[in-house]
Amino acid sequence: MCDEIQKSFPLSPKVINALCAVDREKFVPAGFAQHLAYDIKALPMVESQYISSPLTVAQMTEYLAPNGGDSVLEIGCGSGYQAMVLSHLFRRVFSIERIEKLLSQARERFQLLQSHNIFTKFDDGQKGWAEYAPFDAILFSACAKTIPQAIINQLQDGGVIVAPMLESNKQIVKRFRKHNGMLDEGESLGECLFVDVQDGVTR
């Protein structure tokens, strides 16, 4: 899988090591585990959600964190796969999920894999996690129309936000940097396909 990704999207050594350290089979629904776990494609989960393709996770990770850092906030835990990859690059990963069933399953996976540096919260991710701010980096694992001010406030000055953004009816991955308390206009990194950011929580 990692070799296939490298053919499509070259990765820095730290990111490829983090990706290869995580067994994707542990994060896909049981019915897919044997024959599709290592395909470079997204797979459906409960609540009309998807586990992102390994290629997408690799790209988002490379855009965000080739050098790692102390703490990262993820908006949208989903299966937990992206958070687990980030856990090999950051000292602490804070991941928020608005769908309780998904979060419960992700927590079980983290416990099974004995991950001790991933912290999760059931909430609307657009609020962020102010208690542990500021974060060195913030990653959206869902497509946003705007970056909420609460999220901007929780980013360390000089930090990076990577987010799929809706622009002209297309989803574009954008990378923003924070300077003097404000985000720049961001750089476009390519088209993508994510579920949309939703308000509130689902129990």
Instruction: Indicate which residues carry an active-site annotation.
Output: 52
Q: How far apart are CA 151 and CA 81, in angstroms?
A: 22
Tokens 């991950």 -> residue:
115
Structure tokens at 77: 């835990």
Instruction: Give the other-Cβ count within 10 Å of 108's Cβ.
Output: 11
Per the omega criterion (within 30 degrees of 0), is the bond before 134 cis? yes
Q: What are phi and psi of 14, to 5 degrees?
A: -65, -40
CA distances from 123 to 59, 75, 155, 180 (A): 26, 10, 18, 29
Helix ranges, the chain (H) = 2-8, 13-20, 33-36, 54-64, 81-86, 100-112, 149-153
- State the amino acid at position 10 in one-letter form: P
